[in-house]
Amino acid sequence: MDTPPRLILYSEEDRPAYSEDGVDLTLIRWMLTFTPTERLNILQQNMISINRLKNAGIRAATHRNFPRS
């Protein structure tokens, strides 16, 4: 069976996407393009999104355990 295609488009001229210890360097480079205010807004949105997902999970589990019918 053929090796599945790599999901990261990469050429020899590109800077590496990952460090040798596995850190995603593309995310770091992306974050460094923003101002501190923009970085803080990204963090704030992440916090809100994760919290919404957590609450949705709790609601789903409650519904599974205590269905209204």
Partner 1 sequence: MQESVPQLIEIFRVLDNHQVEFIVVGGVCAVLHGAPITTFDLDLVHSRTPENLNCLLNALIDLKASYRGHSKRIQPDVKLLASPGHHLLITRFGPLDFLGTIEKGLGYSDLIRNSEKIHIENLGVRILSLEYLIEIKEVASREKDRLTLPVLKHTLKEREKNKKA
Cα separation, 48 vs 51, whole angstroms: 5
8 binds partner 1 (CB under 8 A): no
Nearer to partner 1 among residue 61 and residue 69 (C-beta): 61
Asked if residue 62 binds partner 1 (CB under 8 A), the reply is no
Among 17, 34, 62, 63, binds partner 1 (CB under 8 A): 34
Q: Which residue has the tokens 């999970």?
A: 57
Q: Could you please report the per-residue DSSP string of 11-69? A: -TTSPPSB-TT--BHHHHHHHHTS-HHHHHHHHHHHHHHHHHHHHHHHHHHHHHHS---
56 binds partner 1 (CB under 8 A): no
- Residues of this chain that interact with partner 1 (CB under 8 A) are 19, 21-25, 27-32, 34, 36-37, 39-40, 42-44, 46-48, 50-51
